[in-house]
Amino acid sequence: MTRRTLLELASLGTAAAVASAAELPFTLPKLPYAFDALEPYIDAATMQIHHDKHHQAYVDNLNKAVGADAALSRMSVDELLQHLDTVPAAIRTQVRNHGGGHANHSLFWQTLCPAAKSGKPAGRLAAALERSFGGQEKFEDRLQAASMGVFGSGWAWLSVDPGKNLVPDSVPNQDSPLLAGRRPLLGIDVWEHAYYLKYQNRRADYLKAILKVIHWDFVSARFEELAK
């Protein structure tokens, strides 16, 4: 991953956020498609604010939390979350929230794609969805129900446990499945910032829409890796 230098940040006008480190440990990944690529299901304005403002804020706040600690700065965000108990208590909540926000969104962007490329679960993932849920459709019903059941802000996740089983659950805030020793595979962001501009209070409509733009090739390939 490339690191953003002080100079680049200064040119973006955010140098005030920078401590004394020459490089920041965490950077915002580029969106792997255009802001309007998920239209009409997810609108361009939502994508732009979600990525450029919300995700950037998680990155900035994570840098603020760990930037002064050389050892923590060398860890990946996944490692920080997997070993949260080793993070100093004074910054543990910031790492959980903003590190979680950075990790969750970094994966989230990759699991979405234009509807025309969405495809179907393949290979081992297709078999595992069949085994665990009775197929893709029943899994999607379960994911929608978990998403609807999130009270306030949070995520619904499908993750992989150490025994390589698929585990569905929902979490509050920006908690990551990594905190529970699982590897996240596919998550649905049900914070209002993910859908309110287009769908307002109609979370169910947003959920129906986002299932049209799941990048199943990516999710299937990720499962092959995680289930090795």
d(CA 21, CA 38): 37
Tokens representing residue 163 in the block: 């025994």
Stretch that binds Mn ion, among 23-31, 109-117, 154-162, 185-193 (CB under 5 A): 185-193
d(CA 129, CA 173): 26
Chain-centre distance for alpha carbon 170: 13
Least CB distance to Mn ion at residue 144 (A): 18
Least CB distance to Mn ion at residue 105 (A): 6
175 contacts Mn ion (rule: CB under 5 A)? no
* Three-state DSSP class for residue 120: coil
Residue type for 17, please?
A
Instruction: Give the 3-state secondary structure percentages of the chain, helix then strand then coil, rounded to 5.
Output: 55, 10, 35
Residue whose CB is nearest to Mn ion in the complex, by number: 189
Question: Is the CB of 191 or the CB of 206 nearer to Mn ion?
Answer: 191
Stretch that binds Mn ion, among 83-91, 140-148, 166-174, 182-190 (CB under 5 A): 182-190
- The phi, psi pair for 19, rounded to 5°, reads -85, -150
Stretch that binds Mn ion, among 32-40, 166-174, 181-189, 201-209 (CB under 5 A): 181-189
Which residues inside 189-208 make contact with Mn ion, applying CB under 5 A? Answer: 189, 191, 194
Helices (H), ranges, 42-122: 44-48, 56-66, 70-73, 77-82, 89-94, 100-110
d(CA 228, CA 225): 5
What would the x/- binding string for Mn ion be over residues 66 to 105, using CB under 5 A?
----------------------------------------
Stretch that binds Mn ion, among 19-27, 109-117, 139-147, 188-196 (CB under 5 A): 188-196
Least CB distance to Mn ion at residue 55 (A): 7
Tokens representing residue 195 in the block: 């859908």
Least CB distance to Mn ion at residue 191 (A): 5
Chain-centre distance for alpha carbon 7: 28
Least CB distance to Mn ion at residue 180 (A): 20
Question: Is the CB of 54 or the CB of 64 nearer to Mn ion?
Answer: 54
Binding site for Mn ion (CB under 5 A): 189, 191, 194
